[in-house]
Amino acid sequence: MKNKVEKAKQQIKVGGRYIHFKDSKKIYIVRDIAILESTEEVVVTYQAEYGDRLTFVRPASSWLEIVDKDGKQVPRFTLVN
């Protein structure tokens, strides 16, 4: 499991500030890379830097996905710092 986390940390910057493809004005900071105990899936824990500053968890595979936006292929999350 440790290897899975380390591999994800090579692709997703802990402490990094990211934007989501749907709204580039909303910033999220990655708090940690973790393991979902029930499935052993690697997940990203991240916090909104707006509004109530909620904390979210998303599978790393989803975080790293390339998605379609207006007919173009773009990353779901993009590092901004």
Label residue 81 by pLDDT band (50, 70, 90).
Answer: confident
How does pLDDT run across 31-44, given as a tens digit for each residue? 999 999 999 999 99
| Cβ count within 10 A of residue 37 | 7
CATH number of the domain residue 45 falls in? 2.30.30.320
| Count of the separate structural domains present in the chain | 1
Percent of the chain with pLDDT over 70: 100
Number of Cβ within 10 Å of residue 21's Cβ equals: 17
Q: Which domain holds residue 26?
A: 2-79
**pLDDT for the residue numbered 1:** 87
Residue 60 main-chain phi, psi, to 5 deg: -60, -35
